[in-house]
Chains A and B, each alone.
Chain A
């Protein structure tokens, strides 16, 4: 990402106020001259899992800490369930947080850790014991109540941290990189468990993560953050298939991107001339653009076909959505292979193909000449 585009938050569709359970309005957080969070507005619905996705320094953690009350916004307001949180300190907010480091109290047993939040509210010992037992059973840690945190494995600690944050039945649970400390196998398993616990308890989750796979599987909706602003909000498939700008297209998954000029903006589809690509791109289901405007075309690697012969339907003399190239590199990944193909203009294209057949007779080899083509619905046309 050498040409970092300046991303402006697209205007949020004004959500129905009744459906906005958490409303973040024009929230800004400055540290000196640096705006960690810059005029962010977001509506989060009751019962959803909302993932804040972004690189380090994108402002996602600062936003989360403002929701928890650890940071006071420089400007803007946060409402939770209709209540203004501006002057509410962290210990009076109906919000709990699961920390990235889990932050389990090392000098207390698992039971004491989980009971800590309930003890702050008062309430009978028996009642506290019952609730602690219940939540520990839900996270399958019932048998470990007497253990100290250092006597637990990473996965067990994560469950205890989750139980401790959930036992007070918060209106909103904040999860800071909940799975980052777990190894790969355990992470996948835990993701689904987290989903089932969330569905069972119906608590609204806001998850901060830098891992797009995690965000995709966990989130009902995602908010992609960049430089303290929201670059796009939408469902996982919205974000992947219809990125709103070059940053999102590039940040989520991998993408081939070309600069071009609209040559025919009317009718059913858009035609774009790209010197970089060396062919005309025909994009269906794209926003109309004025002829002559500079745009970027983004095509996902898995949406490009690769073949030795030109596709039959190729109309001469000026083919659309079709280029010639030479295979330069092949990376075999097991379930799929990645091909780096150099097209005639010199640019490298990334193409992925699933390895459907076992023991292919004549696989593509390096330096082989190939044709690349794609369907008219595949290109996404971006104006910013």
Chain B
């Protein structure tokens, strides 16, 4: 009897979040998927109904027009490729900057480690939007960076920094750096220092020991951090909108514009589905890493 009540209690504890996420996370994707096969029309809501009733039974009508449109208009294809490029370059920059930082924290005195970590995380607690906005003030033509460089005499005309790829990279690296550093730190901190000593004892120089011992062991951390930066960066909206080019949009902005400006919900849905298709492999990869991390403890 008691075991029965225990079982139903467990069912409730697991069931409530599962139900919530089914309704507010999984079903929405199914709706997006369905609407991507509708056609746009002037109505509320602005798409052809999901089902039409034919002689009392529902019939499903699939329109491929949105997808056809996406593949024929070069604007979308180039946005996709551009988003991938931006995300990849930013992820690489994050890794190159974040790895030495995480390494330095992991090798700092234990007393100062938590302080340093706090310094890494602290900007994250202040508004993301405002931190991106701060870069406008730094990068624009009469902004801080240009003023300083002019004053130093390094340049004689202000550099066009804002609304460039460079500005987007800066914005993404700046915003996502903590997401790269934290998993790397968590990984590097667990390394056994004796391994490096053993390598040195066996005659490996520090650089070689790093490449042969530390780097291979930190692959899981590199992967987790990279996915944590890459996946959201592909769909980034705020950073390219505030800092980026106006002649080349990223896919997140395209989706948003299709939805808000053109009110073409089926095309916006189709864009979302194609982005998801692109990201489904990295997302599942990330989930596997996460599961391993949580069960390893």
Contact = CB atoms under 8 A, between A and B. Distances in A.
Answer whether A and B are interacting partners: yes
Interface of A: 87-89, 91-92
B3 interface: yes
Contacts of B3: 87, 89
B2 interface: yes
Contacts of B72: none
A92 B3 CA distance: 11
A87 B5 CA distance: 13
B184 to A, nearest CB: 31
Contacts of A91: 2
B6 interface: yes
Given A87-B1, A87-B3, A89-B3, 5 more contacts: A88-B2, A89-B2, A89-B6, A91-B2, A92-B2
A122 to B, nearest CB: 17
Contacts of A87: 1, 3
Q: Size class of B's contact patch?
A: under 10
Contacts of A92: 2
Closest 8 CB pairs of A and B: A89-B2, A89-B3, A92-B2, A89-B6, A87-B3, A91-B2, A88-B2, A87-B1
Contacts of A88: 2
Interface string B1-19: 1110010000000000000
B144 to A, nearest CB: 50
A95 to B, nearest CB: 15
Interface in B1-46: 1-3, 6
8 contacts: A87-B1, A87-B3, A88-B2, A89-B2, A89-B3, A89-B6, A91-B2, A92-B2
Interface in B157-180: none
Contacts of B2: 88-89, 91-92
B59 to A, nearest CB: 46
A177 to B, nearest CB: 22
Nearest to B5: A89
A87 B6 CA distance: 12
A221 B152 CA distance: 88
Contacts of A89: 2-3, 6
A350 B249 CA distance: 81
Nearest to B6: A89
A92 B6 CA distance: 13
Contacts of B6: 89
A37 B275 CA distance: 50
B173 to A, nearest CB: 41
Contacts of B1: 87
A89 B2 CA distance: 7
A88 B4 CA distance: 11
Nearest to A87: B3
A49 B6 CA distance: 33
A90 to B, nearest CB: 10
B209 to A, nearest CB: 34
Nearest to A69: B3
Interface string B139-165: 000000000000000000000000000
Interface in B175-195: none
A88 B1 CA distance: 9
A87 B3 CA distance: 7
A91 B1 CA distance: 13
A137 to B, nearest CB: 34
A346 to B, nearest CB: 37
A172 B3 CA distance: 21
Nearest to A88: B2
